[in-house]
């Protein structure tokens, strides 16, 4: 199974953000963990982070030709980018939305996810381990053939 893990705006600055909300690790460490979890689950993972919305969308379009599953954390784009939503809606493979913090218990504007109706599963507020949960979901879905 080939999985794209696509992280959006400001995820590259994790080490500088509130550790109580975002887990207190630098983005390279998060990527290392994601690759390890991917190997444990028997899938090939490609992690990408971008602060450019157009590039994020282009990566979604490109992945449609090779990915068997997608883990996506669009960052703040989650709350307002219908362009990101439309790009995710094009996937015919399972897509999992991940957020390090529990967006349902934060500011009112963060509680809105314009992508939640086009993803297959959501993992919210589990910190970095949310990515592991997402990979487990995708590999189990792949084993089930669904």
Q: What are the catalytic residues?
A: 22, 99
Half-sphere exposure at residue 40, Cβ-oriented, CA atoms within 13 angstroms? 12
Neighbours of 26 (CB within 10 A): 13
Measured at the CA of 63, the angle between CA 68 and CA 30, to 5 degrees, comes to 80
- Exposed e or buried b for every residue in 80-116, given b needs 16+ CB within 10 A? ebeebbebbeebebbbbbbbbbebeeeeeebeebbbe
């Amino acid at each position: 199974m080939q999985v794209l893990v696509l992280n959006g705006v400001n995820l590259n600055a994790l080490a500088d953000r509130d550790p109580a909300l975002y887990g207190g690790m630098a983005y390279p460490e998060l990527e290392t963990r994601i690759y390890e979890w991917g190997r444990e689950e028997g899938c090939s993972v490609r992690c990408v982070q971008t602060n450019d919305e157009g590039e994020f969308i282009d990566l979604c379009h490109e992945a449609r030709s090779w990915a068997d599953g997608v883990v996506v954390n669009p960052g703040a784009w989650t709350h307002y980018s219908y362009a990101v939503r439309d790009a995710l809606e094009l996937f015919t493979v399972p897509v999992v939305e991940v957020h390090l913090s529990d967006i349902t218990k934060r500011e009112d504007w963060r509680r809105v996810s314009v992508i939640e109706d086009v993803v297959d599963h959501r993992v919210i507020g589990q910190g970095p381990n949310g990515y592991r949960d997402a990979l487990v979901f995708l590999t189990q879905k792949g084993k089930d053939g669904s």
